[in-house]
Chains A and B, each alone.
Chain A
Amino acid sequence: MTIQTPAGASRSDMAGARAPATTASRPALTVIVPAYNEAASIADTIASLLAQTTPPETIIVVDDGSTDATGEIARSFGVTVVRPARNTGSKAGAQNFALPLVTTPFVMAIDADTTLDHDAIELLSRSFDDASIAAACGFVIPRYVKSVWERGRYIEYLFAFTFYKRVQDHYGRPLISSGCFSMYRTAILRAEGGWPTRTLAEDMDLTWSFYRSGHGVRFVPEAVSNPIEPHTYAFLAKQLRRWSHGFVQNVSLHWRGISGIPYLRSAVAVATWDAVIASTLYLIILPIAAVVFGNPWLLLGYLIDAPALLVPVLAGAVPRREVGRALASFPAFFIIRSVNAVFFVEAVWSEWILRKSFLTYEKGH
């Protein structure tokens, strides 16, 4: 069965739009899964949604012009599959394509390479008992931890989600409601115009827009998602380019607007300083100083904070019973941090000095 959507695209399998019932009552929730050539991972994503303790009322997969079997695989699960006439150009575009079809008061976006712990939706839903909350996000931890890049990202996430994000949440200002796994009030999301496409970091843009409109955002560490992180440098580079340019674009777009939001403005100012000044010092000044002063001990500066990093990392790893994995992956973090710094310096140089805004969405997980 094929139905024309308002956007003029074909919408298949409406009869199977409802996910099969499993256990507890369903939240009035629609999950949107944007997918472009995700045949290898989409089945796991949908299966994890259907296996939730509180499965969503509706699952909509946006097959965004895939050339592989993404649509067919999704359809085999009995969920709604919609396909735009042509590729929308970004994850936000694909999600917006499905937004008019949402009839539930809550909507969730999840990447097509992300799985959820079985109770993630139930735990995340509880945030919305507070009427001021517009969006909620959960803990993110890579599903596979094998390559050096995945290991570095694993430590980065353990650190950030165990410490930084919890601190931000205490002050009521999580910096980003992560795009790979977030839930929203549909009406507020629509009032903001859906997922913004004006920057490369639509999740950050949307989060800061919520704050500016007076809404709240929550981080729920118990709700865990497992995305597939870049396993090669090529994929990592695409992701970091998108993130770094997206951050700089959002600072340019929102800096005046968030100046009236106390904790957020401080966190953004500090992040900007670290992205611009600290990254430059880290990459350039430290090695130059070691050469100029003929003192290789200065290079210890790259590792000097290792004990400080290890505490939150272990605090995050112990409850997950992943201490061995965390210790084995720890050295990789220092590599990915240096790469991270390079991309942020490049983004600042390109966006603010050369005035060349990078707006091409490159898929890289």
Chain B
Amino acid sequence: MSIGLPGTGVGAAFYLLSALWAPVRTLLGRGDRRSRGFGIALVAVGIIAALSLATIALSLALPEARVQVITLEPDAASGGLSTTLLLVALLSPFGTLALIMLVVRVGAAILTRRARSIAAPFVDDALVGLGDESLEVAS
């Protein structure tokens, strides 16, 4: 099962960064002995290279199209605006990803604190908030 839009969207940015970080994680001694992460990092580098080459090729082959795509105006010729919008377009998935990660982290901290504060001795932390009432009380 693939969820959402495989290959694009924020998911692509997430897995790209995860793959690039994997060998660093291994070198820092936090990796898993099963997978050192160099293979997936190589694929990630290949993806970045392919995207860069495609962008350059598109710019050379279709300079007018590039301006149109970036500025949304067929007759616009502002290079400065183009560059700004291009950067925004490239960075927005990563900015969105950073925002999602921040929300997830803060949300997790709040949930953990709340779970601890309401946990009775017979309630299993791991099951708090499962959504299925019958599973909330540990056996």
Asked whether A265 is an interface residue with its Cβ less than 8 Å from the other chain, the reply is yes
Q: Which residues of B contact A (CB under 8 A)?
A: 1-12, 14-15, 18-19, 22, 25, 31-32, 34-35, 37, 39-40, 43, 46-47, 50-51, 53-54, 65, 68-69, 72-74, 96-97, 100-101, 103-104, 107-108, 111-112, 125-132
Q: Give the interface size bracket for A toward B.
A: 35 or more
- Contact call B6/A337, Cβ cutoff below 8 A: yes
**Whole-angstrom distance between the Cβ of B114 and the nearest chain A Cβ:** 9
- Beta-carbon contact of B50 and A273 below 8 Å: no
Q: Which of A178, A266, A274 contacts B3 (CB 8 A)?
A: A274
| B2, A156: Cβ atoms closer than 8 Å | yes
How many A-B contacts if CB must be within 8 Å? 181
Chain A 243-269 interface 0/1 with B at a Cβ cutoff of 8 Å (1 = within): 100110000111111011000011101
Q: Are A312 and B43 in contact (CB under 8 A)?
A: yes
> Would you call A323 an interface residue if the criterion is a C-beta within 8 Å of the partner chain's C-beta atoms?
no
Chain A residue contacts of B6, Cβ below 8 A:
156, 159-160, 164, 337, 340
What distance in Å separates the Cβ of B46 from its nearest Cβ neighbour in chain A? 4
- Chain A residue at minimum C-beta to C-beta distance from B26: A170
Q: Which of A201, A259, A275, A279 contacts B108 (CB 8 A)?
A: A259
What 1/0 mask marks residues of chain A from 301 to 334 whose CB sits below 8 Å from any chain B CB?
0001111111110010000000000000000010
Q: In angstroms, how far is the closest chain B Cβ from the Cβ of A128?
A: 13
* B34 and A259 contact, CB distance less than 8 A: no
- Against B, the Cβ 8 Å flags (1 = close, 0 = not) of A156-194 are 100110111011011110011010000000000000000
Given contacts A293-B72, A297-B68, A307-B50, contact A163 B131 (CB under 8 A): no
CB <8 Å contact, A259 and B32: no
User: Do most interface residues of chain B lie in helix, strand or loop, or is the interface mixed?
Assistant: helix
- What does the 1/0 interface line of A188-224 toward B look like (CB < 8 Å)? 0000000000100101100000001110001000000
Add 6 more A-B contacts to A156-B6, A278-B8, A298-B72 (CB < 8 A). A159-B6, A212-B126, A243-B1, A256-B111, A273-B9, A340-B5
In the bound complex, CA of A246 to CA of B1 (Å) = 10
Measured CB to CB, the nearest residue on chain A to B8 is A305
Closest to A127 in B: B34
Q: In the assembly, what is the distance between CA of A252 and CA of B39, in Å?
A: 34
Assess the B53–A266 pair: CB atoms within 8 A: no
Q: Determine the distance from Cα of A31 to Cα of B117 in the docked complex, in whole angstroms.
A: 44
Question: Given A156-B2, A269-B100, does the pair A311, B46 have CB atoms closer than 8 Å?
Answer: yes
Cα A159 to Cα B47 in complex, Å, equals 12
Query: Could you tell me if A273 and B10 are in contact, using CB atoms closer than 8 angstroms?
Result: yes
A305 touches B12 (CB 8 A): yes
CB distance from B121 to the nearest CB of A (A): 19
List residues of A (12-41) whose CB comes within 8 Å of B's CBs. Answer: none
Contact string, A45-66, partner B, CB cutoff 8 A, digits 1/0? 0000000000000000000000
